[in-house]
Every structure is written in C-alpha cells, then in structure tokens.
Amino acid sequence: MNRRSVASVALAAALALALPAGAEERFITVASTTSTEQSGLFAHILPVFEAATGIEVRVVAQGTGQALETGRRGDADVVFVHARAAEEAFVAEGAGLERHPVMYNDFVIVGPGDDPAGIKGKDDVVEALAAIASAGATFASRGDDSGTHKAELQFWQEAGIAPSGAWYRELGSGMGPTLNTSAELPAYTLTDRATWLNFSNRGPLEIVVEGDPELFNQYGVILVDPAKHPHVKAEDGQAFIDWLISEEGQGAIAEYTIDGQQLFFPNANDAGV
C-alpha cells in the first residue's frame, strides 16, 4: 500500500501548510478605505512606521461604511476613513475612542474630454453638478455608501437636486471599478485625486472640475474602543495613531507624491477638521 502512504504524507504536508506561520507576529489590523490603499499611500508610509516600532500594520481596504462596520464589530483595531459625520457618530455611539484628524486630500470631478455638460474649468462643484443634471449628461455614482459617495450626496443636496433618471447611474462599486465604468460609458464622476492619479485605464476621461474648497476630503483615525472589544490591541493601535499625527508621521504623508504631485496634506494640528 505504498500509494496510500504517499497520499497520507501529501495530506500531512498540506495540513502543515495550513498552520498559521509564526504565532509570535506583532501586528494590528486597520480598516481603511479603498482610496487610501489604492493611492499607494500605505505602501509608502507603513514601512516607515513598521521600521520605527516593529508593529506590522495589516490594512483591510473597504468602503468607509464597511470599514466603520468592521471596526464596530471589533474586527479591526483602528479605523482610518474619510467621512467626518459618520466618524463622529462612530465615536458618539461608543464604538471608538477619540477621533483624530490626520490629513486631507481633494476630490475632483472627471468626465469625458468633449464635456457635454460644459463644466470644464468651473471651480464650484455644486454649480457643476447642477449643470450636469440640467444637461442630462451621464453621471456615474459610487452608490456604495463610501466616503466619496457620501460627499457626492452632500453636494447634490446643496444643489437642491435629487438625482434620478437614465443619466444618473448608481454603480454600487469601489472607486476603481467606477472609474473603469465611467471611462467606458463615458460619464462624469466624482473621484479622489489620489485614486485618479494612480488609475491607468482613463480612456476619454480628464479632470474637469477641481480646486473648490468644498472638495477637500478630510481623513480621521479612531481607535476601536477596547472596553467594548477586549481583544483590541489598544497599545499598538494607539502607537499607530500617535505616529500618524506626530511630526514624523505627518512628514511621511507629505512626502508621498505621484508624478511630482503631493496627494495628501497632513493637518493633524488644524482645529475643527
């Protein structure tokens, strides 16, 4: 029965592979947003933090809504997202401790180069959206309860428009898939600049609206409340937060550029953001 013993050795080897490698690893889990992950920011700043502290940071990139839910369920130690109202609610309901502002980036509206709504060069996002709606030009919405989606809905509300109809497409997708779809339709869409700069499949899309202070997108970081979830690695999680808002962390964020453009602007020390 040589064959059987061969089979059982192979099975044992397969099971050995399944065992978690190195139980001694020191790490924290951070629930963050796809835009932050896909911008490449984490790949730039995390090695700096890990070298300084020996704490590995495992980033689960999700939409803001899902990332907050992950923290609420206790499946992450730290949440690092961009939807201020939702973050404050998260703290208020007792899911997390203090919210610390970290940095901002900005949103831009991208759209087809032939600009059917005629909004190229506008610097007022609300006016631009109103023009898209009245022209009936195709607009792609994330529709996924992400920070970007929430910001978009806020702008529509300010414009006094409840967007609906064939021109308004709710995709229920992340930023990247939304850009892929927008390039294909083509459609206008709201995106964070970081994802846009990292995105290669642009097709006819280009930036049509930017620079409105309303388009600034504030990021905050929160430690999940260890009183609620005792397994939360409070000490190491707090170390990460402290580092992010320290001079060193803020410097690392400011250093990250794509094509010479800075993507994230540290503002941990600004008041009221």
Among 24, 213, 231, 259, binds other proteins (CB under 8 A): 231
* The residue count for the chain: 273
Among 198, 207, 214, 248, binds other proteins (CB under 8 A): 198
Phi, psi of 105 (to 5 degrees): -130, -170
Among 102, 108, 109, 179, binds other proteins (CB under 8 A): 179
Using the CB atoms, write b or e for 25-48: b if 16+ within 10 Å: eeebbbbbbbbbbbbbbbebbbeb
Please list every residue from 88 through 107 that binds other proteins, using CB under 8 A. none
59 touches other proteins by CB under 8 A: yes
Contacts with other proteins: how many residues (CB under 8 A)?
A: 35
CB of 31 to other proteins, least distance (A): 9
26 touches other proteins by CB under 8 A: no
Both tokens of residue 46?
């995390």
Give the H/E segment covering residue 216: strand 216-224
CB of 189 to other proteins, least distance (A): 13
CB of 11 to other proteins, least distance (A): 6
CA distances from 168 to 115, 137, 214, 239 (A): 16, 8, 22, 43
CA 42 to chain CA centroid, nearest Å: 11
14 touches other proteins by CB under 8 A: yes
Closest CA to 208 of 134, 105, 139: 139
Whether the Cβ atoms of residue 30 and residue 240 lie closer than 8 Å to each other: yes
Specify the residue, 201 or 269, whose C-beta has the smaller distance to other proteins: 201
Among 5, 15, 23, 114, binds other proteins (CB under 8 A): 15
Per CB under 8 A, residues contacting other proteins are 11, 14-15, 17-18, 20, 29, 34, 37-38, 42-43, 58-61, 72-75, 174-177, 179-180, 183, 195, 198-202, 229, 231
